[in-house]
Amino acid sequence: MEKNNTLEKINKAIIIGCGRMGAAIGLKMSEMGKDVTVIDQDESAFRKLSKAYGGNSIIGDGTNIAFLRENEISESDLVVCATNDDNTNIFIALMVANIIGVKHVYVRVYDNDQVNLLSKYKINVICPSELSVTAFIYDFKREGTEHENNSN
Amino acid sequence: MKIILIEGHRKVYYLLDSLSKRKHHKLVVINQDKDYCKVLSRKFPDAVIIHGDATKNYILEDAQIRDFDLSIHLSYDDKINLVSALSLNKCFNVQRNVTVVNESKNVEVFYGVGIDTTIDTSRVLANIIEQHAFVEKLKTYMPLEDENLILLNLEVSSESNSIGKKIQSLTLPSDAIIAAIFRDKKTIIPNGNTMIESGDRIFVTTLKKVQNKVVKALIG
């Protein structure tokens, strides 16, 4: 319930990095009726956005604080950092959380060592390798119990 | 002092060169350029040179730099400087972090996360060029706090009007003070009765707003 409330409160979301993750989150937010902007340096990246996506797409450098301010980042309640480079994502996340003061900041990092570093800030970290391990263990355990059930 | 130096090419070379002359420093270098690491390890056999990415914790772990006194970050990429400085500060207990900032607008990002010793290279360089372009006979110039306070090193030429005058009789603005005079390889801490001589090198701490008056009074 708590999570739904948070999601309802979000009006404006900015997604930085239009890879598979950025494009998919952009689409979800747009389907939920949020004001979404996806930012990427490379125009061709926007091809990954679904036809159903109803938000904005802006070409630009997400590490450039002046550029983000021009695009009214201070008015957004959610920023997702989803470029393909950990250092870029961390840099942007720290910038929007600490300098601009965006309330909900999500950052994707491939290197799970960096999770520890970011835990000291009000930033939500998404680490694909950790999620995969969790999914694997969950599946593996379930499969195990299914086998036990079958043998009984 | 135990010092770790991250990235940088010529900058790290010159720093190592000057730091390694003082034997009591323990120096560790991490650099992503393998060939350059070879150059550094040949030239500085006493320093530990590690080829690797300093934004990766396992590299920092291997480097055994926990509890070092100081880290210096010299990458041309501000993202690398920020992440490596933060990792060392938060995860490896390296309390002092000095970093180059290549894009002036990123200075506030470093401040925002608590990395407060930044060197804004383009601004520093622009200021120095500006000073040298407009102030003649200026030997060196160093901005101190907030760039409002500066240290000037001026050379008194034979045509300067201040020659033969006592410091107390110079029309020096009150926001400036003569810190030292370098004369005949000796350093003099002057008082009001000290006389200015031709060839003196004068070190003045001054507020930036009155620096032109200082220059005029001393070497004009």
Looking at residue A4, its pLDDT comes to 61
Nearest-CA distance from A146 to chain B in Å? 39
**Is A136 a domain residue?**
no
Do the Cβ atoms of A33 and A55 come closer than 8 Å? no
Choice among A83-92, A135-144, B53-62, B126-135 with the minimum mean pLDDT: B126-135
For residue range A104-136, list pLDDT tens digits in order. Answer: 999 999 998 888 888 888 899 999 999 999 999
Rounded mean pLDDT, B20-36: 90
**Is A50 a domain residue?**
yes
Q: Side-chain half-sphere of B207: how many Cα atoms within 13 Å? A: 6
E strand map for chain B: 2-6, 26-31, 48-51, 70-73, 96-101, 117-120, 138-143, 149-155, 176-183, 186-188, 201-207
- Inter-chain contact B57–A111, Cβ cutoff 8 Å? yes
- Inter-chain contact B90–A120, Cβ cutoff 8 Å? yes
Percent of chain B with pLDDT over 70: 94
For residue range B63-102, list pLDDT tens digits in order. Answer: 999 999 999 999 999 999 999 999 999 999 999 999 999 9
Which CATH number is A72's domain given?
3.40.50.720
**Residue B209 reports pLDDT greater than 70:** yes
**Is A141 a domain residue?**
no
**Is A17 a domain residue?**
yes
Do the Cβ atoms of A7 and A17 come closer than 8 Å? no
The C-alpha atoms of residue B110 and residue B87 are separated, in whole angstroms, by: 13
Choice among A107-111, A130-134, B133-137, B162-166 with the minimum mean pLDDT: B133-137
Looking at residue B137, its pLDDT comes to 64
> Domains, chain B, ranges and CATH?
2-119 (3.40.50.720), 135-219 (3.30.70.1450)
Query: Which are the contacts of A112, defined by CB distance < 8 A and separation ≥ 6?
Result: A127, A129, A130
Nearest-CA distance from A124 to chain B in Å? 16
Burial class of residue A97 in the structure, from the number of CB atoms within 10 Å of its CB (0-12 exposed, 13-18 middle, 19+ buried): buried
Looking at residue A1, its pLDDT comes to 43
Do the Cβ atoms of A63 and B80 come closer than 8 Å? no
Rounded mean pLDDT, B141-153: 77
**Is A20 a domain residue?**
yes
Higher pLDDT, A26 or A116: A26
What is the residue-averaged pLDDT of chain A? 90
Nearest-CA distance from A112 to chain B in Å? 10
- AA identity, residue B42: R
* Nearest-Cα residue of chain B relative to residue A97: B112
A112 in contact with chain B, both atoms CB, cutoff 8 A: no
Rounded mean pLDDT, B7-11: 88
Dihedral of the alpha carbons of B122, B128, B134, B138, in degrees to the nearest 10: -170
**Is A132 a domain residue?**
no
The total number of structural domains in chain A stands at: 1
Q: Does the complex come out with an ipTM higher than 0.90?
A: no
Q: Which of A86, A94, A113 sits opposite B58 (nearest CB)?
A: A113
Looking at residue A148, its pLDDT comes to 66
Q: In 3-state terms, what secondary structure has residue A35?
A: strand
Nearest-CA distance from A4 to chain B in Å? 30
**Contact residues on chain B for A66, CB-CB shorter than 8 A:** 105
**Residue A45 reports pLDDT greater than 70:** yes
Rounded mean pLDDT, A18-38: 95
- Inter-chain contact A117–B90, Cβ cutoff 8 Å? yes
Q: How large is the C-alpha radius of gyration of chain B?
A: 21
**Helices first, then strands: H and E counts in chain A:** 6, 6
Nearest to B150 by CA among B199, B96, B103, B212: B212
**Contact residues on chain B for A87, CB-CB shorter than 8 A:** 55, 77, 79-80, 82-83
Element (H, E) at B103: none
A66 in contact with chain B, both atoms CB, cutoff 8 A: yes
Rounded mean pLDDT, A26-51: 95
pTM above 0.90, yes or no: no
Which range marks the domain in which residue A80 is found? 2-127
Rounded mean pLDDT, A43-57: 95
B positions 68-107 inside 8 Å of A (CB): 77-80, 82-83, 86-87, 90-91, 105-106
Rounded mean pLDDT, B195-205: 89
Looking at residue B63, its pLDDT comes to 94
For residue range A60-99, list pLDDT tens digits in order. Answer: 999 999 999 999 898 999 999 999 999 999 999 999 999 9
**Is A66 a domain residue?**
yes
A99 in contact with chain B, both atoms CB, cutoff 8 A: yes
